[in-house]
């Protein structure tokens, strides 16, 4: 132990929980101690923490930051202890509720992107823009000219208040989009002790989507029109470039693997031109108090600055990516495969804590380029009794694209599903079917015999929410919900769902070129992604220590994955095999 004795560290951990206003649950101080030891004793810069549902991850993350700050020479009131990152609105709201008592004390604050706040200062008769239009700093510099606006609106504006406090608060919670935009473009967040990456299994895909470059014939035609309308397309070279690229998008093979970077360079010049012109006009409109025009120009400038930055990042960082041409949409997409060497751009702290209930060390290291000697993996013990999480491999069939072409395989699969449903419906229990695709789902729905239950189908093109609500509110008979979108982000506690059927291993679709690349170049990562999704799926219906449900796995590939050494979550489940139920 490097800095202090075990007793001192233990006391620091308990004091950290107390300062946050929490009495630690069993296991939480030990979890924080393990993470601190990895940072302070083992010299790790990154900890990958696999913490099961119910461990209280958000509190473990904040308490780690609290204790780390003090043990690292800070004080009880030092600012900039942590940034807490969340991916989904549900988790962001949970953070808000968990730390609500600390808001206003300088200890905790949550901030979101400017588009979540209103800007009343620049409102016109027809529009109240969001705070992306904010011109506070420019108006401040010309205070005499904007005195009335500033004192009536800006001095009490929530957005600017949060922005001004974001670097002085001790724990700052935000979402990945806000964080990526800050790290890649604005760089306004000052260095912290710790960044806590919650739901970290999503980071790579979120980053890849965030940094994807897209252009199509239709989009570029709109771009030419918009530039002409908003700032004037007087530069003939820029006008020609846009026209040529838009036309080339429509010709299959014209923009290809060998030449797409030339196109990107040309687009970078177009977007930079638009952004620079927009910015200049924006300033003029503001000074003349033509707020409607200013707001339009701000949106315009933000769009083209963003598009230019994405291309610039690709050129500068040369990250591994895939090029894709979609003939039907006459569109080109260039997408990062992994965060990779861009991770250095995303740094905002000395230490990083990556947390999730399903997180794999292998995937985190490969996708974020984490140096193995600086990375420590910690898995916390299960929090729910494993007998409450039964997994039954029920007569698993060798399911693949090829075997599913055989009607006999589909018929046997449907019959197995029907047996599971009948068994639970007889006990008046409700459950879910996790289908691998809408196509196989349709075959299952067609083949299932009518029974004394209500089958609710999430149809392609509809939102899952609709089907989920219908399922939750159905009364009068047991309900069964079938959908390919149930693997993640769905909570079905207690009697809402007592059984779940995992039809087939949720291998990511190879129609996605990025996934195909990952399978070819990084097969272990591809398998780990599938396994994490499988484990997420197996946890949908057990949401507390007293909750229970049975998961049926009907596919031999899913069984193989679940039983493999890579499955570090196996100890959370009570597993058995059966041929008959
Ligand atoms: S500080 Fe003023 S200009 Fe900026 S968003 Fe708030 S109200 Fe609008």
CA 350 to CA 68: how far, in whole Å? Answer: 11
As a whole-number percent, the residues of the chain with pLDDT over 90 amount to 92
Distances (CA, A) of 389 to 346, 425, 490, 578: 37, 19, 16, 16
As a whole-number percent, the residues of the chain with pLDDT over 70 amount to 99
Radius of gyration of the chain (CA): 27
Q: Record the tokens describing residue 320, joined without a space.
A: 């591994």
Residue identifier of the C-alpha nearest atom 4 of ligand 1: 134
Q: Which of 111, 115, 119, 163 has the most ligand 1 atoms within 8 A of CB, as the residue to mutate?
A: 119
What is the average per-residue pLDDT within 329-333? Answer: 98
Residue identifier of the C-alpha nearest atom 8 of ligand 1: 119
CA 194 to CA 546: how far, in whole Å? Answer: 34
Pocket of ligand 1 (CB under 6 A): 119-122, 131, 134-136, 153-154, 157, 159-160
Q: Which of 141, 150, 153, 289 has the most ligand 1 atoms within 8 A of CB, as the residue to mutate?
A: 153
> How far does the centroid of ligand 1 lie from the alpha carbon of residue 468, in Å?
39
Higher pLDDT, 317 or 554: 554
Atom number in ligand 1 closest to CA 121: 7
> How far does the centroid of ligand 1 lie from the alpha carbon of residue 280, in Å?
20
Nearby residues of 535 by Cβ (< 8 Å), 6 or more positions away = 357, 358, 567, 569
Atom number in ligand 1 closest to CA 117: 5
Atom number in ligand 1 closest to CA 149: 2
The answer, yes or no, to whether residue 265 has pLDDT greater than 70, is yes
What is the average per-residue pLDDT within 209-228? Answer: 97
> How far does the centroid of ligand 1 lie from the alpha carbon of residue 141, in Å?
14
> How far does the centroid of ligand 1 lie from the alpha carbon of residue 279, in Å?
18
Q: Which of 430, 472, 436, 473 is nearest to 451 (CA)?
A: 430
Return the exposure string of 512-521: e unless at least 16 CB atoms fall within 10 Å of the residue's CB, then b. Answer: eebbebbbee
In this prediction, residue 4 has a pLDDT band, given cuts at 50, 70 and 90, of: low
> How far does the centroid of ligand 1 lie from the alpha carbon of residue 465, in Å?
35
The answer, yes or no, to whether residue 250 has pLDDT greater than 80, is yes
Q: Which of 550, 537, 565, 560 is nearest to 392 (CA)?
A: 550
The answer, yes or no, to whether residue 183 has pLDDT greater than 70, is yes
> How far does the centroid of ligand 1 lie from the alpha carbon of residue 162, in Å?
11
pLDDT digits over 498-550, tens only?
Answer: 999 999 999 999 999 999 999 999 999 999 999 999 999 999 999 999 999 99
Nearby residues of 330 by Cβ (< 8 Å), 6 or more positions away = 216, 217, 218, 249, 250
Nearby residues of 312 by Cβ (< 8 Å), 6 or more positions away = 268
Q: Which of 156, 159, 298 has the most ligand 1 atoms within 8 A of CB, as the residue to mutate?
A: 159
Q: Which of 122, 141, 145 has the most ligand 1 atoms within 8 A of CB, as the residue to mutate?
A: 122
């Amino acid at each position: 132990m490097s800095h202090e004795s075990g007793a001192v560290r233990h006391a620091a951990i308990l004091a950290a929980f107390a300062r946050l206003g929490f009495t630690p649950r069993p296991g939480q101080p030990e979890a924080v101690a393990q993470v601190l030891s990895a940072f302070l004793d083992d010299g790790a810069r990154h900890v990958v923490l696999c913490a099961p549902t119910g461990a209280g991850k958000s509190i473990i993350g904040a308490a780690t930051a609290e204790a780390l700050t003090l043990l690292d020479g800070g004080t009880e009131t030092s600012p900039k202890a942590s940034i807490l990152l969340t991916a989904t609105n549900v988790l962001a709201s949970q953070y808000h509720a968990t730390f609500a008592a600390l808001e206003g004390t300088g200890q905790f604050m949550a901030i979101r992107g400017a588009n979540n706040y209103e800007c009343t200062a620049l409102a016109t008769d027809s529009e109240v823009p969001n705070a992306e239009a904010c011109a506070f700093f420019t108006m401040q510099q010309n205070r005499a000219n904007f005195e009335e606006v500033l004192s009536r609106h800006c001095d009490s504006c929530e957005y600017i208040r949060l922005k001004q406090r974001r670097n002085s608060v001790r724990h700052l919670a935000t979402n990945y989009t806000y964080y990526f935009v800050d790290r890649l473009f604005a760089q306004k967040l000052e260095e912290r002790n710790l960044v806590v990456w919650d739901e970290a299994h999503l980071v790579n895909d979120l980053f890849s989507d965030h940094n994807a470059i897209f252009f199509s014939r239709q989009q570029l035609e709109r771009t030419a029109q918009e530039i002409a309308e908003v700032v004037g397309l007087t530069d003939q070279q820029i006008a020609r470039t846009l026209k040529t690229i838009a036309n080339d998008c429509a010709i299959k093979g014209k923009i290809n693997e060998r030449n797409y970077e030339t196109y990107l360079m040309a687009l970078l010049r177009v977007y930079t031109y638009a952004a620079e012109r927009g910015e200049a006009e924006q300033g003029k409109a503001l000074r003349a108090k033509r707020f409607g025009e200013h707001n339009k120009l701000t949106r315009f400038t933000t769009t083209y600055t963003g598009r230019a930055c994405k291309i610039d990042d690709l050129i500068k960082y040369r990250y591994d990516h895939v090029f894709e041409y979609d003939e039907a949409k006459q569109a080109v997409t260039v997408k990062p495969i992994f965060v990779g060497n861009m991770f250095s751009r995303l740094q905002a702290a000395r230490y990083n804590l990556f947390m999730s209930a399903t997180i794999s060390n292998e995937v985190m290291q490969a996708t974020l380029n984490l140096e193995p000697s600086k990375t420590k993996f910690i898995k916390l013990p299960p929090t729910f009794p494993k007998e409450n999480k039964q997994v039954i491999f029920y007569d698993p069939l060798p399911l693949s694209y090829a075997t599913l072409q055989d009607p006999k395989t589909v018929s046997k699969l449907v019959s197995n599903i029907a047996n599971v449903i009948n068994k639970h419906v007889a006990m008046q229990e409700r459950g879910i079917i996790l289908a691998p695709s809408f196509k196989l789902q349709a075959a299952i729905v067609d083949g299932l015999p009518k029974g004394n239950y209500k089958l609710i189908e999430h149809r392609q093109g509809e939102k899952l929410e609709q089907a989920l609500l219908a399922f939750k509110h159905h009364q009068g008979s047991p309900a069964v919900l079938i959908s390919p979108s149930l693997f993640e982000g769905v909570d079905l506690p207690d009697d809402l769902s007592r059984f779940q059927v995992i039809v087939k291993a949720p291998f990511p679709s190879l129609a996605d070129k990025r996934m195909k690349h990952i399978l070819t170049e990084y097969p272990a990562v591809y398998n780990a992604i599938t396994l994490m999704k499988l484990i997420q799926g197996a946890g949908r219906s057990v949401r507390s220590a007293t909750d229970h449900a049975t998961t049926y796995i009907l596919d031999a590939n899913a069984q193989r994955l679940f039983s493999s050494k890579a499955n570090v979550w196996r100890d959370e489940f009570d597993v058995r095999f059966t041929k008959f139920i």
